Amino acid sequence: MELAFHERMAALGCCKFFGAFLVGFLFFHGFCASEKAPNYSFLQNATSAPTISYYDYIIVGGGTTGCPLAATLSQNASVLMLERGGSPYGNPNITNLDSFGAALSDQSPYSPSQRFISEDGVINARARVLGGGSCLNAGFYTRAATDYARAAGWDGGLVNESYQWVEQKVAFQPQIGQWQTAVRDGLVEVGVVPNNGFTYDHIYGTKVGGTIFDQDGNRHSAADLLEYANPSGLTVLLYATVHRILFRTRGHPRPVAHGVVFRDAAGVKHKAYLKNGPRNEIIVSAGALGSPQLLMLSGVGPVDQLKAHNITVVLDQPMIGQLSTVPPKQRTPEAIAKAIELMDNLDEQAFRGGFILEKIMGPTSTGHLELVTRNPKDNPSVTFNYFKEPVDLQRCVDGISLIEKVIDSKPFSKFKYENMPVQQLLNMTANAPVNLLPKHYNSTLSPEDFCKDTVMTIWHYHGGCQVGKVVDDNYRVTGVDTLRVIDGSTFNMSPGTNPQATLMMLGRYMGVKILSERLPTADEQSN
């Protein structure tokens, strides 16, 4: 069980045998802090970009992985990073803890979040800002388990160094309030032991994890990792929407990625190409939804989908779009509008109490992603298939059982009404407008029905371009050359907790590895 605490926010998680992960939040209002924007000389609006430019590396996506990757590669190469959103700095809805949630509800054209409804009827959001999801989330910071890193084939020493590199800029030890203390002590009382205290490590038992909010309530997103960048080696273009990757096919045994086409906020087309060089590459870091979407728009994906949208096939790759993550599709415009209205109009008093959310580890259920249009600004169609596999539903039920025990524990007693049983609390929660699914309105709601009725997202998407299916162990796209995907879309499983620490680590980790490949070999030196 993991608990990430801040004096004004709490998150807790479970790493027990049934594989559930619990998250709780506590909000207070009245805090007003503002983080000073760093002086990034390399940050530009895409409208100022030349029509044609050349770089050693082109990174598509300035998100949680893209920022540390760009900062690292810029030390010894020329790097262009293209971000479809704007800067997080100067936007109090992003930088201030007191405004958490405001960015997610912002539906303006330049909002840092882009809302979509999954085919399962769950209201979701995609990041659209420099720093990616680390600009929108609740701040929980913890590393992946050592077994996870080992299974991924990562070098343990470089993994630890990369985490430390990240943590020097963005991770903090939180203060613990009464709510957090009660939940922590309740977990220990019901047997989630040992109590490991504060640590960034992902370990068995109960612990206090980290946060990316500092003690003044300022968010430190992945964009802060650009402070490590070499300004002379990096160009970051904002409001730059990449439409497709360009491939050479004539005279090559396999398609070769050599450039990208992007448009600025005014709709003006630009092209960026790789410089001549055997190790120069295009790297897609657009996220679990954006990366497979861009590959398909560029002609790499299931041939039936590509032909359906009149996209020239570069490579038939049938595995793209497989997401690792009920069926009733209550998706009428009226139903969607009503659910969104209810969520947006929640009384602010609802955020003065505590929330305990449960995250299902894994999961074993899989979903898929499909193109809707050829416009990269449009959301793809996404189906997560929540609880498709019975083991995921059982994990949820086991997690609910644990939550019930914590609520009934002695340390938690002062946070509940004496005469309100847990079943009544569950029934009240089941009416929250968290999705568009039909509810089971029963007086004695079963744990299974409760899990189905309250299924929602905490945005920890992964899959879509998974290792062993779309990319190899070095994140190179199989079947084409000079193209990699490095982000959460490559994960076969979630790290089991908020993945942002591992995504930032991966950007640094792969940046170091890629730079090492640029060093001349002994044979090259002798020649």
Pick left, alpha or beta for residue 129 (phi over 0 → left; psi -120 to 50 → alpha; otherwise beta): beta
Closest Cα partner for 63 from 506, 513, 374, 515?
506
Contacts of 472 (CB under 8 A, 6+ apart): 478
Closest Cα partner for 297 from 246, 336, 256?
246
Contacts of 358 (CB under 8 A, 6+ apart): 14, 20, 21, 22, 23, 396, 399, 400, 403
Residue 455 in marked binding region? no
Residue 373 in marked binding region? no
Contacts of 10 (CB under 8 A, 6+ apart): 3, 4, 24, 25, 26, 177, 179, 180, 183, 354
Q: What's the one-letter identity of residue 224?
A: D
Residue 500 in marked binding region? yes
Residue 129 in marked binding region? yes
Residue 488 in marked binding region? yes
Residue 520 in marked binding region? no
Q: Which is it for the CA torsion 198, 499, 85, 257, positive or negative?
A: positive
The token pair that represents 104 in the structure block: 């997610």
The token pair that represents 141 in the structure block: 């910071």
Distance CA 313, CA 298 (A): 8
Q: What's the one-letter identity of residue 21?
A: F
The b/e string for 151-164 (b: 16+ C-beta within 10 A; e otherwise) is: ebebeeebbeebbe
Contacts of 333 (CB under 8 A, 6+ apart): none
Residue 459 in marked binding region? yes
Question: Phi then psi for 362, rounded to 5 degrees?
Answer: 105, -90
Distance CA 267, CA 147 (A): 46
What number of other Cβ atoms are within 10 A of residue 38's Cβ?
Answer: 13
Active site residue ranges: 460
Residue 462 in marked binding region? no
Distance CA 84, CA 240 (A): 5
Closest Cα partner for 46 from 21, 80, 90, 9?
80
Residue 83 in marked binding region? yes
What number of other Cβ atoms are within 10 A of residue 375's Cβ?
Answer: 11
Contact between 109 and 43 under an 8 Å Cβ cutoff? The reply is no
3-state secondary structure 291-329: HHHHHHHCCEECHHHHHHCCCCCCEECCCCCEEECCCCC
The token pair that represents 4 in the structure block: 């990430």
| Residues contributing to the annotated binding site for FAD | 64-65, 83-84, 129, 242, 459-460, 488, 499-500
| Residues contributing to the annotated binding site | 64-65, 83-84, 129, 242, 459-460, 488, 499-500
